[in-house]
Amino acid sequence: MINDALTALQEGKFILLYDFDDRERETDFAIRADAVTPRHIMQMRKDGGGLICTAIHPFAAQHLGLPFARDVLASTNVAEKEGEIPYDRKNHSSFSLWVNHKSTFTGITDRDRAHTVNEIAEQVRKSLNGGGANFATQFRTPGHMAILRAADRLLDQRRGQTELSVALAEMAKITPAITICEMLDDDSGYALSKADAQDYARKHGLVFIEGQEVIEQWKSHHY
């Protein structure tokens, strides 16, 4: 199934990515950011309902000067403290900046968000290939697309949806910028159950994989 997921990502298709029973217990839509269209944004907000974010490789974040939000907000009383995340006490959250591309209008429409996502991916691609990426000239913050900065050692350090998706991008040999969105349950108000997410995958012809499959592939290939 992992190879099917990698192929789907390479082809610019959605996959459904479940993390772990002992972590968030959430399934995310995941798609390569450079392939996102307005229709993908629409599907995520309607069928997912969670926060639409774009996870990027830590080296790209460093090159682009994108900090962790907690570091930017360290001087405030509400900044995240060590060990405060109930599902991941050993790590801090991966949130970086929230941005709009400067060519967008409000930044929230499907078209605006898709364009911002595509341009984030382009900046990541350039930054990792020796190009002259200049994030500050292209984006403004605050905006409507949350950037997630993966942990420096990826799955060897943290095993969140951010690291799982960026690791998949590395294994698929695509630009390591993946747009993700949690799937929520309209009835319970909680995360969509794994069984219901698997049912959605079957109905829509999508690959469903679990975090443990990603970990095993990562370890077996010594990434």
| 110 vs 46: CA distance, rounded Å | 11
**Per the residue annotation, which of 19, 26, 53, 112 is the catalytic one?**
53
115 among known catalytic residues: no
Active-site annotation holder among 19, 24, 28, 112: 28
Cβ(151)–Cβ(88) under 8 Å?
A: no
- From the candidates 19, 182, 200, 210, which is the catalytic residue? 182
Q: Is 141 helix (H, G, I), strand (E, B) or coil?
A: strand
List the catalytic residue out of 3, 82, 84, 87.
87
Catalytic status, residue 216: no
Q: Which of 47, 91, 110, 144 is catalytic?
A: 144
144 is catalytic: yes
223 touches 166 (CB < 8 A): no
Judge whether 170 counts as a catalytic residue.
Answer: no
Query: Quick check: is 181 catalytic?
Result: no
Q: How far is the CA of 7 from the CAs of 37, 42, 108, 214, in angstroms?
A: 19, 23, 30, 14
Positive or negative torsion for Cα 30, 207, 196, 88 = negative
Q: Of residues 19, 34, 100, 163, which has the active-site annotation?
A: 100
Residue 182 is a catalytic residue: yes
Residues involved in catalysis? 28, 53, 87, 100, 144, 182
